[in-house]
Chain A
Amino acid sequence: MCDYSGRLVAWLDREMQADEASEIERHVAGCAECRNCAADLDRMSGVFEDYCEALVVLTKEERKAIRVVPIFWAAAAIVLAVMFAYSRGQVASPMQQPSMTAVRKTDSPLSLTVKGAENVRAPSKADHHAARRKAAGRTGKGAASPGLCSGQGCAPRKVQGQGANWVAEEPAIQIAIPAEAMFPPGAVPEGMSFVADVSIGADGRVEQLRLRPRPARFERSTDQP
């Protein structure tokens, strides 16, 4: 066995000083035993690295994590919508809000339509973060019944698939909210809309608002609570 044979791995790993490395290089060039040994050790190192690589296959879990992100955004958007509706309701009667167009007032629950329009403030970043923090708690329980419909694919009750131009059977108040203010691009799965019930008291204040996501292609059941 050569004097150099105990340092072949370090040499292969380029972990030696230049002068020492060149010394071993010269030796290996002239010593068949060390050359074969170095080749074996190099091959073994490669197999070991393949083996380590094989231990971690980060495929399915990672893809799942990526797919979950749009759901978070959708949940955040729903909470934003709820917060928006509450804040409007508590400041004054809906009839007095400049950003809302009063169509007709009837008994509650009211049907609201979200359309592309210009007269609503865009949510701030702080709103977004607050919404994301609260998203799981507020929307995870599955808030109850229908009424509010988002801009894309909105089609509650009997008129299906007519988009944002749909007018409720007896709309009391129509609120226009730009879709881009609520949903980042790609946040809402295709075919998904949101429905909500809004209860407004005699003094015009919002008493209750419930939101839930639903696929637009399904007919809403009328016996929902």
Chain B
Amino acid sequence: MSDESLPLALPLSRFTTDMCEATNLYRELQKPLLRYLVCLGLSRDEAQDVVQDAFLSLQRHLAAHGSKESIRSWLYRVAHNQARNRQKSYGRRFAAPLDAGVESIADQETPERAVLKKEKFERLGKAIRLLTESERECLFLRAGGLRYREIGEVMGIATSTVGDTVERAIRKLAEQCNV
């Protein structure tokens, strides 16, 4: 029996519940997930592909009676791993979309505020590039609304380590940016 035919074998009520759950999760997490992937350095198109793939994996996971516990961190982990697979030159590509994003937002402000915000974001962008990879990922996941426990599940580290990493990363940024 192939994966695709599994939903048909499920009782209708369970199948419907799973689909509703997947739909609600999509509504809730599609944008934060996309933002996380773009922050990691994927292009917008790549990020959208990864999000689609991640939600397809989620449907298969639910259809195959997979665990529903920590489903949010499960989804982020799938997307995170797919993003890593797509990015072999991860560190090098990290810088490009950050600068592009800053430009696009700065255009929406009044000229004076845009200049100030742009300078602030440029300083922050440089400071972010000085962080370690795990520090960056912790901060991006935290900005996406994940709890420390969930961040730990996505990255495969202890919750206490997440706390230390986030604290250290935020302090480094504050020092660099003088916010």
Q: Do A and B bind each other?
A: yes
Mark A residues whose CB is within 8 Å of B: 6-10, 13, 15, 40-41, 43-45, 47-49, 51-58, 61
Q: Is B101 an interface residue (CB 8 A)?
A: yes
**In the complex, what residues of B have CB within 8 A of residue A15's CB?**
147-148, 163
Q: Which of B95-135 contact A (CB under 8 A)?
A: 97-98, 101-102, 104-105, 120-121, 124-125, 128
Say which residue of A6, A13, A51 sits within 8 Å of B148 (CB atoms): A13
**Cross-interface CB contact of B98 among A6, A40, A48, A55, cutoff 8 Å:** A55
Query: With an 8 A cutoff between CB atoms, is B14 at the interface?
Result: no
Interface SS of A by simple majority: helix
Q: Are A47 and B148 in contact (CB under 8 A)?
A: no
- What residues of A have a CB within 8 angstroms of the CB of B171 in the complex? 9, 41
Residues of A within 8 A of B44 (CB): 56, 61
- Chain B residues with CB under 8 A of A61: 44
Chain B binding site: helix, strand, loop or mixed by DSSP? helix
Nearest Cβ in chain A — how far from B96, in angstroms?
Answer: 11
User: What B residues does A43 contact at CB under 8 A?
Assistant: 179
Cβ-defined contact, B174 with A9, below 8 A: no
A–B pairs, 21, beta carbons within 8 Å: A6-B167, A9-B163, A10-B148, A10-B166, A13-B166, A15-B163, A41-B171, A47-B120, A48-B139, A49-B143, A51-B124, A51-B128, A52-B143, A54-B101, A54-B121, A55-B38, A55-B39, A55-B97, A56-B39, A57-B104, A58-B31
B163 (CB) vs chain A CBs: closest residue: A10
Kindly list 16 other residue pairs between chains A and B, CB separation below 8 angstroms, not including A9-B166, A56-B35.
A8-B167, A9-B167, A10-B163, A15-B147, A40-B174, A40-B179, A44-B177, A47-B120, A48-B124, A51-B128, A52-B143, A53-B35, A54-B105, A56-B31, A56-B38, A57-B101
